[in-house]
Structure 1
Amino acid sequence: MSAGTTDLGWRGVGDDSEEVTRAAGLRLARSARLLVADLLRPRRGAVALALLILVVENAVMLTGPLLVALAVDTGVPAALDGRPAPLAWAVAGYAACGLASAGLRAAFLLLSGRLGQDVLLELRRRVFRHAQRLALEWHESYTSGRLISRLTSDLESIDDLLQQGLDGLLGALLSLAGITVLLLLIDPVLAGVVLAGFVPLALLTRWFQRRSRASYRLTRTWVARVIVQFVESMNGIRAVQAYRREARNESIMEQLNDRYRDANADALLTLSWFVACVRAVGNLTLALVLLLGALRVTSGALELGALTAFLLYLRRFYDPLDQLAQFMNAYQSAAAALEKLASVLETPIGVPEPAHPRALPASVRGELTFDRVTFAYPRAPERLVLPEFSLTVPAGQTIALVGETGAGKTTLAKLAARFHDPATGSVLLDGVDLRELADADLRRALVMVTQEPFLFSGSLADNVAMGRPGASPAEIAAAVDAVGADFVHALPEGLDTDVRKRGGRLSAGQRQLVSLARVVLADPEVVLLDEATSSLDIPSERAVQAALETVLADRTALIIAHRLSTVAIADRVLVMGGGRIVQDGTPAELLASGGDFADLHAAWQDSLR
């Protein structure tokens, strides 16, 4: 998808589709619950301690109205009779409960806050670690904006839940349970009136759960699309400005923002109806209890202090219901976010590392073998890119792969780099199947240089050192000099110069020389070059060509080339078509024999005139 061209009719892959079937929704919900359980399992001790503090705090808090009843029914009459001690003890007890409740509240908030942040940290680590291991096709279909949404807005929703999770849910449930027991002990008749109100409350809660879950799934979907549109527009800002795309992008963003606003409005409307109905039930119940309680006091069936305590408890009874409503609102939003995150974490790694890896021979030679390999991309499994391909590249030999677009050249390089595994057959390095090698061993022995090398923000030295983290400044400088990157000496701070985002401070040719310096520093046995000079001007191409002679010396190399000037340094040329080798020989032999390579070479020569 081009920058800034999001289609409002687009359906995301898997977890971002607007419509979720009931079966898929249940599966995602179960995955989310399992994820939470897995995150909390190592922190069982902290959770148990937080629960203990919460239970004690609720017990202390529930003692307060009983002390009020004691003061009204016993302390005040005793004080009127000249015995102030009972009233004094009741007042002192109430004050002690208040202080203890405040201390326990502070301890609980500190512990639960730390626990929540630990869970968020672990979740963020897992998503980032897992996303880096997923297949390239997943990243190509699952846009960076959606992944950013997972790690920002979705985690913020979970953070909101964790901040009130134990308190909002467990604290409210403990309060409800404790108050219910006390109401039954004080006066079963009035307690029965209160419990009768649970029938409409249960129906309201069930409705709220269903409606809000659907609403918050939509909010997570639309905020992801807003972020996708923003990220694509900013990443493609050159194309946006060059083609005067601003107005169209603003129109698309406006529509996405409207959808996101509407989804949030629907979620808030659902919450407001739920809270309003809960409070209406609570207020009606309180009025009825006040009427019946007054009648029971006048008839002598209930003490005034007991009614006072009952009403105080009843007032506190509906406060937890408000907390539950707020918790459920945060929970539905976080549950939808957890479903999105769980779907990412459940995505299988494209090329899993072997459980019991084999070691490469002590001295790696660099022989690369494709043994009856077949391959089709997951997005089009019916179309075999490589029907059945076999090739051996002897150690130290440089082979150039040429052919029309779609012939299978880049696919071979991706299989050799183990970005994918073949459907059948195997790719071997010195006789060892790549699927049996540890990733670290493979990356030390084989390096791929792409058409557009990626440089990270930071110093040029740091970018070169990606080839071998921990290399000394002298080794980094030697690698830069080996590829003839003389431009480094003209930079303001030399190797310490910040290359800026994506290496924007450097030209395309300079970025490619940096990527070749990485190869020299890494010193692999096998080098894969995918169109390494296709986007360069003639002077830059010549500089890179000169560097390639140094980089490829005494190494096994596969060069994918459209510009046939690169082919001149190859020992052998393979012309590919339809996933098969149609010509094989030295550059001179193929030019002399005619055929596809001679035609490609003639077309290339004509393009230079």
Structure 2
Amino acid sequence: MNLYSKYFKKYKAPFLTAVFCVALEAVCDLLGPTLMSNIVNTGIEQGSLSKVYYWGALMVLVTMIGACFAVTRNILASKVSQRMGADLRYDLFEKIVHFSELSADKLESGSLITRMTNDTSQITQFVNGIMRIFLKAPITCIGSIVLASLLNFRLSLIIYSVVAVVAILIIVSMQLSYPRFYKLQQAMDKVNSVVQEYLIGVRLVKAFGTYDKETEKFEIANTNLMKKGVSSQMIVTLTSPLITLTVGIGTVIVILMGSKMFVSKLANPGDIAAFTIYMAQILTSLIMITNIFNTFVRTKASTVRIKEVLNSEEDFNHSGEKKELNGDIEFKNVTFAYPSGSGVPAIKDLSFSVKDGQSLAIIGPTGSGKSTIAWLLLRFYDINSGSILINGNDIKRLDIASVRDNISIVPQKPMLFSGSVTDNIRWGNKEASDELIYESVEKAQANFIENMQNGYDSILGSAGVNISGGQKQRLSIARGILKDSSVIILDDATSALDAVTEAKVRENLNPEITKKTVITITQRCGTAMFADKILVMNNGVKVGFGTHAELMQNCEIYQDIYKTQIESSKEV
């Protein structure tokens, strides 16, 4: 379906009313020169004051009617374009909310922000222009040509020549403008991305003192945007004066030929005056049409970019079976490579299982595929081969909401939202009572909340910038606990906690107490060794699976990790 068709159907009545008003306004404008011609020919030239009054009054009446139509279409255009813009932004956001991980990987957040703001505004302005002036320009131009032809066909031949030259200029302008405007929007994406990256990492920039580097990155992106802006506007800058010159030359020729025809009794003074006004109207219309096409080119570029978002791949649908699931998890010969990556598998022929109510620790060097296991279990991506089973059911055959409702994840990098502490914790369970919130906070060792100025009502900044890393992690853990799912995944979620606090959190999440399957992704042997089962990963391959005691007997990599982390610390 065309991008605009659904919105046109929704606002069809006011849109067509505005178009009707524009057409009638244009007709009123076109009648002006003809009425003035009558004033000159039948009134002034013949010395009839009554005819001057008659045609003058009629001209004022037509102008007033045209003004009423103009006010009406302005009101309708503003309302419809702004409502359509709001609908488009909503549709874009709804689409982004349902993005698949692949779509999120392809489109940078800076680009998405540009598309939701700048590109949407461009389309809104275009729709407003269509309803206000864009349709008026061609009607006025064509009407002026027709009425001028009826007044004097010989003089109208000059107009045809002028319009032909201007049409060529407009076509050339469009061909040159489109690629430049598309690159302009891409340059704007880059500026937004640079600013966004700086704002996200502002503390790191301050810590490393890399202001000059960040300023240089912005300068490069900003200069590129400026150059692209100059390049795109240069076509418009050159085209408009050429059109004005062409029409101006045409007007001069009309006056010269008109004076000769007047001497030869082939034209009336009123006709020549009306012809001159029509030429002025044609000039205004042609410049407006040029601007219309330039706006159309920019809007076309914005439309293509918005369609890229709306046509992006969505998350897996909810057409599978809806089932009550438990914590039985099994990976069978799973192989997976990130779609937008190098093609090298992040997970290779992985098989393991964990029973409901057991604890599993996944340990291994950086880049060994530990977090990837969590993403696959949540079905953020589909595996290339093998199968993942929950409670004996292949997750590909299950309703995606059933799978994700069954799993609570505490990510490696805690993500908090602007709002109160309670809002952030309750994000894991919107219907949770205050008692359940207090209980999850106690289990997560997040009692620091009570010492905050406004307690649970304290406001957190975006991403929790006004609390420490350890506090963020504990709030994130509390949120994960509150979800009360059969499986809870801690993806290196205690890395910022001290050993005592981590031990208390681990004790509170003991499967024997919670009756949940607890999966802990960690690089700490001291954390992994307490789990019922330990999965050791290296370069995407399982190199060990069993209890701590078993791995100390038969897994060399695990032994190395233990010696490096535990035995070396004892020696110190």
SS at 2:360 equivalent: strand
1:309 correspondence with 2:274: yes
Amino acid at match of 2:166: L
Quote the RMSD (CA, aligned, Å).
2.5
For the 8 Å contact 2:359–2:532, the answer to whether it is kept is yes
Matched residues in 2 for 1:509 and 1:252: separation?
32
Q: Go from structure 1 to structure 2 and tell me whether the alpha carbon gap of 1:547 and 1:460 turns closer, same or farther (over 3 Å shift).
A: farther
Deviation per CA, 1:436-490: give whole Å up to 9, x if none.
3334333321111112211111100000011112434444334323433211111
Which residue of 1 is the match for residue 566 of structure 2?
Answer: 605
Post-superposition offset of 1:234: 2.7
For the 8 Å contact 1:278–1:321, the answer to whether it is kept is yes
SS at 1:383 equivalent: coil
**Please, what TM-score do these two structures have when normalized by structure 2?**
0.92
Amino acid at match of 2:130: G
State which of 462, 466, 474 in structure 2 corresponds to 1:505: 466
For the 8 Å contact 1:360–1:430, the answer to whether it is kept is no
Post-superposition offset of 1:57: 1.4
Matched residues in 2 for 1:81 and 1:202: separation?
43
Which residue of 1 is the match for residue 123 of structure 2?
Answer: 158
Post-superposition offset of 1:583: 2.6
State which of 333, 343, 353 in structure 1 corresponds to 2:317: 353
SS at 2:331 equivalent: strand
Q: Go from structure 1 to structure 2 and tell me whether the alpha carbon gap of 1:285 and 1:148 turns closer, same or farther (over 3 Å shift).
A: same
Which residue of 2 is the match for residue 495 of structure 1?
Answer: 456
Moved more, 91-100 or 232-241: 232-241
Matched residues in 2 for 1:62 and 1:302: separation?
20
Deviation per CA, 1:517-550: give whole Å up to 9, x if none.
2123211111122112224333443443344338
Matched residues in 1 for 2:507 and 2:462: separation?
27
State which of 281, 288, 296 in structure 2 corresponds to 1:323: 288
1:66 correspondence with 2:34: yes
SS at 1:477 equivalent: helix
1:210 correspondence with 2:175: yes
For the 8 Å contact 1:512–1:544, the answer to whether it is kept is no
State which of 86, 94, 108 in structure 1 corresponds to 2:59: 94
Q: Go from structure 1 to structure 2 and tell me whether the alpha carbon gap of 1:230 and 1:298 turns closer, same or farther (over 3 Å shift).
A: same
For the 8 Å contact 1:130–1:345, the answer to whether it is kept is yes
Matched residues in 2 for 1:487 and 1:311: separation?
81
Moved more, 484-493 or 552-561: 552-561
SS at 1:467 equivalent: coil
Matched residues in 2 for 1:161 and 1:582: separation?
60
Matched residues in 2 for 1:530 and 1:506: separation?
20
Matched residues in 2 for 1:208 and 1:58: separation?
26
Which residue of 1 is the match for residue 407 of structure 2?
Answer: 446
Moved more, 241-250 or 550-559: 550-559
Q: Go from structure 1 to structure 2 and tell me whether the alpha carbon gap of 1:273 and 1:595 turns closer, same or farther (over 3 Å shift).
A: closer
Which residue of 1 is the match for residue 160 of structure 2?
Answer: 195
SS at 2:497 equivalent: coil
State which of 56, 77, 87 in structure 1 corresponds to 2:24: 56
Matched residues in 1 for 2:539 and 2:216: separation?
43
5 Å-filtered alignment, 1:427-438, equals 427-438=388-399
The gaps in structure 1 that reach 5 residues or longer are 1-32
For the 8 Å contact 1:61–1:101, the answer to whether it is kept is yes
Post-superposition offset of 1:77: 6.2
The gaps in structure 2 that reach 5 residues or longer are none
Matched residues in 1 for 2:128 and 2:17: separation?
16
Deviation per CA, 1:317-348: give whole Å up to 9, x if none.
11111112222232222322322222233332
For the 8 Å contact 1:482–1:550, the answer to whether it is kept is no
Which residue of 2 is the match for residue 572 of structure 1?
Answer: 533
Which residue of 2 is the match for residue 294 of structure 1?
Answer: 259
Matched residues in 1 for 2:265 and 2:34: separation?
20
Q: Go from structure 1 to structure 2 and tell me whether the alpha carbon gap of 1:505 and 1:243 turns closer, same or farther (over 3 Å shift).
A: closer
1:373 correspondence with 2:338: no
Post-superposition offset of 1:281: 0.5
Deviation per CA, 1:42-70: give whole Å up to 9, x if none.
33333222211211211122122222222
Which residue of 1 is the match for residue 211 of structure 2?
Answer: 246
Amino acid at match of 1:352: F
Q: Go from structure 1 to structure 2 and tell me whether the alpha carbon gap of 1:56 and 1:253 turns closer, same or farther (over 3 Å shift).
A: same
Matched residues in 2 for 1:316 and 1:607: separation?
88
Moved more, 100-109 or 388-397: 388-397
Post-superposition offset of 1:175: 1.1
- Report the identity percentage: 26
Post-superposition offset of 1:555: 0.9
Matched residues in 1 for 2:84 and 2:204: separation?
41
1:425 correspondence with 2:425: no
Which residue of 2 is the match for residue 9 of structure 1?
Answer: none
Which residue of 2 is the match for residue 35 of structure 1?
Answer: 3
Deviation per CA, 1:399-446: give whole Å up to 9, x if none.
112223333322111100111111123323223332333343333211
Post-superposition offset of 1:37: 4.1
**Please, what TM-score do these two structures have when normalized by structure 1?**
0.87
SS at 1:197 equivalent: helix
Matched residues in 1 for 2:541 and 2:554: separation?
19
Matched residues in 2 for 1:297 and 1:552: separation?
106
1:284 correspondence with 2:253: no
SS at 2:135 equivalent: helix
Amino acid at match of 1:597: Y
Count of residue correspondences: 570
Amino acid at match of 1:74: T
State which of 520, 531, 554 in structure 1 corresponds to 2:481: 520
Moved more, 222-231 or 131-140: 131-140
Q: Go from structure 1 to structure 2 and tell me whether the alpha carbon gap of 1:547 and 1:503 turns closer, same or farther (over 3 Å shift).
A: farther
Matched residues in 1 for 2:157 and 2:369: separation?
77
SS at 2:306 equivalent: helix
Deviation per CA, 1:64-106: give whole Å up to 9, x if none.
222222222224467x457x2x433322221121211111111
Matched residues in 1 for 2:253 and 2:541: separation?
86
1:344 correspondence with 2:309: yes
Moved more, 136-145 or 126-135: 136-145
Amino acid at match of 1:67: L
1:553 correspondence with 2:514: yes
For the 8 Å contact 1:353–1:435, the answer to whether it is kept is no
For the 8 Å contact 1:516–1:547, the answer to whether it is kept is no
Q: Go from structure 1 to structure 2 and tell me whether the alpha carbon gap of 1:248 and 1:392 turns closer, same or farther (over 3 Å shift).
A: closer
1:484 correspondence with 2:452: no
Post-superposition offset of 1:140: 4.8
Q: Go from structure 1 to structure 2 and tell me whether the alpha carbon gap of 1:444 and 1:128 turns closer, same or farther (over 3 Å shift).
A: same
Matched residues in 1 for 2:112 and 2:555: separation?
50
For the 8 Å contact 2:408–2:481, the answer to whether it is kept is no
Amino acid at match of 2:320: P
Matched residues in 1 for 2:511 and 2:517: separation?
13
Matched residues in 1 for 2:57 and 2:431: separation?
66
For the 8 Å contact 2:473–2:496, the answer to whether it is kept is no
SS at 1:35 equivalent: coil
Matched residues in 2 for 1:516 and 1:239: separation?
24
